[in-house]
Structure 1
Amino acid sequence: MNVVLIGYRGTGKSTVGKVVAVRLGCELLSTDTEIVKLAGQTIPQIVEQYGWEYFRDLETKMCQGLAGKDGLVLDTGGGAILRPQNVDMLKRTGKLFWLTASVETIAKRIGSDTQRPSLTGTKSFIDEIQDVLRERAPKYQAAADHVIETEGKSVSQVADEILARL
């Protein structure tokens, strides 16, 4: 079985994933990191050159490949749940944990991140986070086996919650 972390960027998936993987003695894989390795380009470069749809195609291929493995902690990109086939593949071999945080906390955590291009291209940083979360929240909710609030908790506390629910 895999532990699959879903949620908007800045909710703690990568950081918490490292701790959960160590505690379970599992390998941690990030779909975004694996896409960058496969493409030989950063995510902003991929999106600028080929567009978001192409990136989502790569993401689907990555989800398919990783879902076929067992005993992993998977840190998925925030948009992995946008395609129902990704969710179906990941659920076949994993438990999906939706990590959540407030818009303000997300903005603080990702404010200096230059490795993800804008999803809307036209809105302020805070407006984009709010709008994308509003759009994605029902999809995260539908995909999640468990919802874990990360607000005001240490990485260790979040990892403890995930392990307790396993």
Structure 2
Amino acid sequence: MNIVLIGYRGTGKSEVGKLLAARLGMTLVGMDAEIVRSAGMIIPEIVEKFGWPTFRDMESAEARKLAGMDGLVIDSGGGVIERPENMEVLRKNARVFWLKASVETIVARIEGDTQRPALTSGTTFTEEVAEVLERRAPLYRGAAHHEIETDALNPEQVADGIIEILNQTGA
């Protein structure tokens, strides 16, 4: 069984993933990091050179690959839920946790991030986060087995909560 962490950038997926993998003796895999490694370029370069659809194709291929493996904590990219087939394959052998945060918290956590290109044009960074989060929230909700609010929690507390849920559900 795998653990899949979904949610917008800045909700804690990477840090929580590291903690979970260490505590549970699982292997951490960052989907975006795997795409960057296999493409040999960072995500802004992939998007600039090939466009978002090609990046999403790469993301779908990575989701299919990881879904066939076991014992992973998967730190998914924030947009993995943009294609329903990604979550379909990832859910087959996983418990999916949606790490949630408010727009304000997300903006405060990732405002200086230069590793991802803009998802919308003609808006402020805060407006972009709010717009994309509003559009994605139903997708995250539909894909997740469990939701965890991360605004007031540190990564250790989030990891503790996930482990508690796994223990309660026998997963």
Runs of 5+ consecutive residues of structure 2 not aligned to the other structure? 167-171
2:28 corresponding residue in structure 1: 28
Structure 2 residue identity aligned to 1:22 = A
Cα deviation digits, residues 42-80 of structure 1 (max 9, x gap): 000000011000000000000000110000000000000
Runs of 4+ in 1 over 3 A off after TM superposition: none
C-alpha separation in 2, matches of 1:9 and 1:164: 24
- Matched residue of 1:23: which SS? helix
Runs of 5+ consecutive residues of structure 1 not aligned to the other structure? none
1:73 corresponding residue in structure 2: 73
**How far is 1:82 from its partner?**
0.9
C-alpha separation in 2, matches of 1:122 and 1:113: 18
1:64 corresponding residue in structure 2: 64
Aligned residues: 166
The 5 A counterparts of 1:72-111 are 72-111=72-111
C-alpha separation in 2, matches of 1:19 and 1:40: 27
TM-score calculated relative to the size of structure 2: 0.96
Q: Percent identity?
A: 55
C-alpha separation in 1, matches of 2:84 and 2:27: 25
Structure 1 residue identity aligned to 2:102 = S
**How far is 1:152 from its partner?**
1.0
Structure 1 residue identity aligned to 2:60 = T
